[in-house]
A and B are shown apart, each in its own frame.
Chain A
Amino acid sequence: METAELQEKIFAFCQAAKGKKKLKEKDIIKGVSAEQNVPPDDVKKAMRAMIDVGRLMYSYGGGASSVEIPSEEYLREKGLIK
């Protein structure tokens, strides 16, 4: 699977969990890897590339970290949107 396509699948996976479950990195890696039948390392690399450009972001709450789709406020703060 092409990286861009895989990233869309990862994004959809995070979107489906939004408001229901705080996803750890490993939840995404395991979930998308099983769902799309791609090696976990490929998912990991694709996901981290998304985090590096602000398409996904790390969040923290209640003592644990998670990966989420960023809010507009976050994207604005990082200068990624105006």
Chain B
Amino acid sequence: MKKYNTPLIDQLEKGPWPSFVTEMKKAGKNNEMANDAVGHLEKCYTTKMGYWKHGGIVGVLGYGGGIIGRYSELGEEFPGVAHFHTVRLNQPSGFFYTSKALREICDIWDKYGSGLTNMHGSTGDIVLLGTKTDALETIFAEYSSRGWDLGGSGSDLRTPSCCVGPGRCEWSNYDTLDLVYNLTQEFQDELHRPMFSYKFKIKAAGCACDCVASIARSDFSIIGTWKGDILIDQKEVQNYAKKGMNIMSEIVGMCPTQCMSYDGKELKIDNAECSRCMHCISKMTKALRPSGERGATICMGSKAPIVVGSLLSWVIIPFIKLESPYTELKELIRKIWDWWDDNAKPRERIGEVIEMKGMRSFLEAIGVPPMPQQIKEPRKDPFMFYTEADITAYKAKEAEEKKTGKYRF
């Protein structure tokens, strides 16, 4: 196997942190593709050029997603990376694996690919880096025969992902694991057959701590919330104070809606003003906990900057109950896709289309009434207009009230 001199990327092995270069070199000892990837990377650093080409027609028969074609312009110099396609495997909900399952993934990948993996990509998939075109169908057959499936890529529903939810976290307001599994099964067609204008990401977080960063990284963010008050154990509040927590500055002062007060003895919360952000609860886990009905808030539209700048998700449904079989949620998603499909240009994410067409027409199309919680910035969201029909009805009502003497200003 060719030995590459790599003074530049060796720098990335120094310091206290784990290094991807070290891992690539380890893989390169047994695998020609990984070895050439090391040399190729050094060349990129030396010349300050990227040599990767991306896209094209690679894939497995019948699927439009899951394989991302990558080629190097330096195929002759580094034959191991001439084809270096990425395979995305649909991860289990909440990233729960057995060590047997992980071995299975890696054994197949060592056999047909570079052995390099990325656990996990930002969409959540298990990303297997580097294989050749002629191995794709075999790889797919090997993984699918063991119950694995490809994830999403291109203009399709990207692999839905979620936080660990009730599997490991007491704050989850709904079963994120079950929901994501259910949505993945329901939307198999949308996941494997690219039919949209661009990508569509669904992420499910059990609470507003949002461990999957759904608010910033998904077109459709499902964030757990509750309807009741925050229950306070005043004795535990005092324990936190005794242990050195500055409740005024760390809790009360950090409350985004300023709905808390503390007089040194008792912590009070004006629950009507609370936005359920989870800050106080996550800081004082023993003293505070949610109560009442549990469900989720649906926010939409976040994305990284490509066509226009980055966006954060925007509240569409303030509260929805999430219980299997999630019929209401699935119907909502389908209505959203229909509207998006009718209005989007190629490569336009749904958040961009909502900004362009207006929240009003979006809400009308998906049959959701305007609600105060949907206002992103006070006095800056003019989407609650009256239609001609509304004005006519209002005038008729006003005339009637004037006639009967019930009219009030």
Contact = CB atoms under 8 A, between A and B. Distances in A.
B63 interface: yes
Q: Which of B57, B68, B69 has its CB near the most chain A CB atoms (within 10 A)?
A: B57
B156 A65 contact: yes
Q: Which 9 A-B pairs give the minimum distances between C-beta atoms?
A: A58-B64, A65-B194, A65-B154, A65-B155, A25-B195, A52-B62, A60-B154, A61-B55, A64-B155
Interface of A: 22, 24-26, 48, 51-54, 57-65, 67-68, 70-71, 74, 77-78
Contacts of A70: 57
Secondary structure type dominating chain A contacts = mixed
Contacts of B346: 22, 24, 64
A2 to B, nearest CB: 22
Contacts of B64: 51, 58, 60, 65, 67
Contacts of B193: 25, 48, 51, 58
A25 B194 contact: yes
B57 A59 contact: yes
Interface residues of B, number: 28
Interface of B: 55-57, 59, 61-65, 68-69, 133-134, 137, 153-156, 193-198, 306, 341, 346-347
B197 A24 contact: yes
Given A26-B341, A62-B347, A77-B134, A54 B198 contact: no
Given A48-B193, A52-B62, A78-B61, A64 B56 contact: no
Contacts of B154: 58, 60, 64-65
B57 A74 contact: yes
Nearest to A70: B57
Given A24-B194, A59-B56, 12 more contacts: A24-B197, A51-B193, A54-B61, A58-B193, A60-B68, A60-B194, A62-B347, A64-B155, A64-B197, A65-B64, A77-B133, A78-B137
Nearest to B137: A78
A43 B247 CA distance: 63
B59 A58 contact: yes
B123 to A, nearest CB: 15
A60 B69 contact: yes
B65 to A, nearest CB: 8
A48 B192 CA distance: 11
A6 to B, nearest CB: 18
A22 B155 CA distance: 13
Contacts of B133: 77
A24 B57 contact: no
A68 B194 CA distance: 12
A60 B56 contact: yes
Contact of B198 (A25, A59, A63, A74): A63
Nearest to A51: B62
A65 to B, nearest CB: 3
Contact of A62 (B55, B61, B195): B55
Contacts of B59: 57-58, 60
B63 A58 contact: yes
A70 B153 CA distance: 19
9 contacts: A24-B195, A59-B56, A60-B56, A60-B64, A62-B55, A63-B347, A64-B154, A65-B154, A71-B57
Contacts of B347: 62-64
A73 to B, nearest CB: 8
A46 B65 CA distance: 20
B306 A63 contact: yes
A65 B152 CA distance: 12
Contacts of A63: 198, 306, 347
A74 B156 CA distance: 21
Nearest to A80: B61
A16 to B, nearest CB: 19
A62 B199 CA distance: 12
A67 B193 CA distance: 10
Nearest to A68: B57
Contacts of A24: 155, 194-197, 346
A26 B198 CA distance: 12
Contacts of B63: 58
A58 B57 CA distance: 7
Contact of A26 (B55, B57, B156, B195): B195
A61 B347 CA distance: 11
B134 to A, nearest CB: 7
B137 A58 contact: no
Contacts of A25: 193-195
A63 B68 CA distance: 11
Contacts of B194: 24-25, 58, 60, 65
